[in-house]
């Protein structure tokens, strides 16, 4: 199974102006800003708003939240004004619908994958979210729902059908992304730790190489 057309790329967990500018310069289609205090990639909503302003009009802006309440959704949409809200926690179907309505924004729902059963179980979310993101299921001893640099068995996506695009994430890096695209047919790939020199620190050259490998 092969992706059709040019693959789109999301560079997630950006914290600096330099990283945002690099993502734009090298051809990213989405940037991800993480607002989750437990993450090494966390940015405040004020910081996220400034980074979003740098990117606006160049790439799509995704704000990642984990189990947000209505107050956080209201503040996030006001301060950041993202193009998408990415939900990376244990949000229910009802939560996704409520957040989508509350923020009046498209929602990307992250799905933790270990086996094909996890992918099959995502079908109901595909009916209420605007896009799904398949990420590796975190180990039990981690505090982070994503960005752990762990791949999952891509064969779990075999036979997955949806009329909506999905993002492929989980342990991708410049060396593995092309193979991942070939094996899954993913049309959008998402990377965070795979383009870092140290946890939470983006490597601009790795961003460049990842995007080039994904789009070639």
Instruction: Write out pLDDT tens, residues 27-63.
Output: 999 999 999 999 999 999 999 999 999 999 999 999 9
In a domain, 135, yes or no: yes
H helices of the chain, where?
17-25, 45-55, 70-79, 93-103, 116-120, 123-126, 177-184, 204-215
In a domain, 2, yes or no: no
Quick check: 2 pLDDT over 50?
A: no
Q: Assign 126 to helix, strand or coil.
A: helix
Which of 20-29, 79-88, 138-147, 164-173 shows the lowest mean pLDDT across its residues?
Answer: 138-147
In a domain, 194, yes or no: yes
Q: Which residues contact 201 (CB under 8 A, 6 or more apart)?
A: none
Residue 203 class from Cβ within 10 Å (0-12 exposed, 13-18 middle, 19+ buried)? Answer: middle
Which of the residues are catalytic?
12, 141
> How many domains does the chain contain in total?
1
In a domain, 172, yes or no: yes
Residue 42 DSSP one-character state: B
In a domain, 3, yes or no: no
**Residue 163's pLDDT is what?**
77
**Residue 1's pLDDT is what?**
44
In a domain, 100, yes or no: yes
Give me 171's structure tokens. Answer: 């342990």
Domain containing 142 equals 8-215
Sign for the CA dihedral angle at 110, 32, 204, 146 comes to: negative
In a domain, 102, yes or no: yes
Question: How many other C-beta atoms lie within 10 A of the C-beta of residue 161?
Answer: 6
CA distance readout (Å), 208 to 11, 13, 190: 10, 15, 14
Task: Please report, for the domain that includes residue 56, its CATH number.
Answer: 3.20.20.70
Instruction: Write out pLDDT tens, residues 126-167.
Output: 999 999 999 998 755 554 554 556 788 999 998 787 778 899
Give me 167's structure tokens. Answer: 């993002």
Q: Shortest CA distance to 29 belongs to which of 216, 171, 211, 213?
A: 211
Confidence of residue 4 (pLDDT cuts 50, 70, 90): low
Which of 12-26, 97-111, 144-158 shows the lowest mean pLDDT across its residues?
Answer: 144-158
Q: Assign 80 to helix, strand or coil.
A: coil
């Amino acid at each position: 199974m092969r992706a059709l057309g040019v693959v789109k790329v999301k560079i997630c967990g950006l914290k600096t102006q330099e990283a945002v500018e690099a993502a734009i310069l090298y051809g990213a289609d989405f940037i991800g800003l993480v607002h989750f205090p437990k993450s090494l990639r966390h940015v405040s909503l004020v910081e996220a708003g400034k980074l979003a302003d740098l990117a606006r009009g160049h790439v799509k802006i995704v704000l990642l939240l984990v189990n947000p309440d209505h107050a956080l959704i209201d503040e996030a949409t006001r301060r950041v004004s993202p193009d998408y809200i990415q939900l990376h926690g244990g949000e229910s179907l009802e939560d996704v619908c409520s957040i989508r309505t509350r923020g009046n924004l498209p929602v990307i729902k992250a799905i933790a994958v270990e086996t094909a059963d996890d992918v099959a179980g995502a079908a109901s979310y595909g009916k209420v979210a605007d896009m799904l993101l398949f990420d590796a299921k975190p180990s039990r001893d981690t505090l982070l729902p994503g960005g752990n640099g762990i791949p999952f068995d891509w064969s779990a996506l075999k036979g997955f059908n949806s009329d909506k695009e999905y993002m492929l994430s989980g342990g991708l890096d410049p060396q593995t992304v092309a193979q991942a695209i070939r094996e899954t047919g993913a049309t959008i790939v998402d990377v965070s730790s795979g383009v870092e020199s140290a946890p939470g620190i983006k490597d601009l050259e790795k961003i460049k190489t990842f995007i080039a490998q994904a789009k070639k």
